[in-house]
């Protein structure tokens, strides 16, 4: 830095001296009120203003160069992030094609509002303000913005009964998203649990639980909850998983009914099993 300043002074000392003398002259002129001095002062001030504008432009250019460097750096980071996201997208599309999973987002969602909550210790049901007039049918899944809430069990013209997750009669085929471990989710009167998972399977606290491909009642890949706890039986061969649902069932108010026309034969068998 010192070498640069010395070189700057050495190369531009005449200009620096001129600037210094101009400043001194302007200071002296500013104190003189004679007509000739005023005329000279106006000329000097004009020249000084031009010089100051040129200097300011030069400084602005230097500053803008720094800004451009920052923008280039930011663009590089964005490029790397975009490439990473594109890679994830390609991997996701490849995995979807491999497992031939359905995309739940393609199904129409019918908004519904809970008008009554009939919840006991083991039998959780809601009554919502949409029925057959909105083409609601028995067996349609119900969600909210967090995840799975339940299943339509009875329908009238204007209302429907939703059997929610906290109903001991509702059994849901689920899978662990990370490892594709399958199981059946039930409510035991206190918690949502998945029984009889071999202890040799890779299960971790926090694993995401979603609906499985093995049930026709629910489309696959609807988020259900996450593994809160795992306990092994006396022999240490099987785990029982406790699941915390993503949807806050007790505080639920506004829901969405997934407009899926169930397969009558298969669904009749499954509905009979969960009654």
177-206 pLDDT, tens digit per residue, is: 999 999 999 999 899 999 999 999 999 999
Residue 265: pLDDT over 50: no
Q: Kindly write down the DSSP assignment for every residue of 209-236, as one continuous string.
A: EEE-TT-SSS-TT-EEEEEEEEEE-TTS
| Sign of the CA dihedral running 163, 166, 170, 171 | positive
pLDDT digits (tens, 9 = 90+) for 101-126: 445 556 788 899 999 987 666 678 99
User: Is 218 exposed, middle or buried (CB count within 10 Å of its CB: 0-12, 13-18, 19+)?
Assistant: buried
CATH number of 105-274: 2.40.10.350
The predicted-structure confidence for 86-105, as pLDDT tens digits, reads as follows 667 766 765 665 554 445 55
| Distance from C-alpha of 7 to C-alpha of 13, rounded to nearest angstrom | 10
pTM: 0.59
d(C-alpha 136, C-alpha 237), whole Å: 43
Task: Give the pLDDT band of residue 25 (cuts 50, 70, 90).
Answer: low
Residue 212 CB neighbours (<10 A): 21
Element of type H or E holding 182 = strand 182-187
pLDDT in tens, 155-178: 999 999 999 999 999 999 999 999
């Amino acid at each position: 830095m010192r070498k640069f300043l010395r070189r700057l002074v050495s190369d531009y000392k005449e200009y620096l001296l001129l600037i210094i003398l101009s400043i001194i002259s302007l200071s002296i002129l500013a104190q003189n009120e004679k007509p000739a001095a005023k005329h000279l002062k106006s000329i000097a001030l004009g020249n000084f203003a031009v010089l100051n504008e040129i200097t300011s432009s030069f400084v602005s250019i230097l500053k803008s160069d720094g800004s451009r460097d920052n923008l280039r750096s930011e663009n590089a980071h964005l490029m790397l992030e975009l490439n990473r996201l594109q890679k994830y997208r390609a991997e996701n599309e490849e995995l979807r094609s491999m497992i031939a999973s359905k995309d739940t987002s393609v199904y129409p969602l019918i908004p519904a509002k809970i008008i009554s909550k009939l919840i006991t210790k083991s039998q959780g049901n809601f009554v919502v303000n949409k029925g057959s007039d909105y083409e609601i049918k028995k067996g349609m899944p119900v969600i909210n913005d967090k995840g799975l809430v339940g299943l339509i069990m009875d329908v009238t013209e204007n209302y429907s009964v939703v059997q929610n997750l906290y109903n001991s009669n509702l059994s849901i085929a689920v899978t662990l998203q990370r490892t594709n471990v399958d199981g059946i989710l039930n409510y035991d009167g206190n918690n949502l649990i998945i029984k009889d998972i071999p202890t040799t399977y890779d299960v971790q606290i926090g694993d995401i639980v979603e609906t499985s491909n093995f049930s026709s009642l629910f489309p696959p890949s609807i988020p259900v909850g996450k593994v809160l706890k795992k306990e092994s039986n006396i022999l240490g061969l099987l785990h029982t998983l406790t699941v915390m649902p993503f949807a806050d069932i007790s505080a639920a108010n506004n829901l969405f009914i997934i407009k899926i026309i169930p397969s009558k034969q298969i669904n009749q068998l499954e509905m009979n099993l969960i009654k």
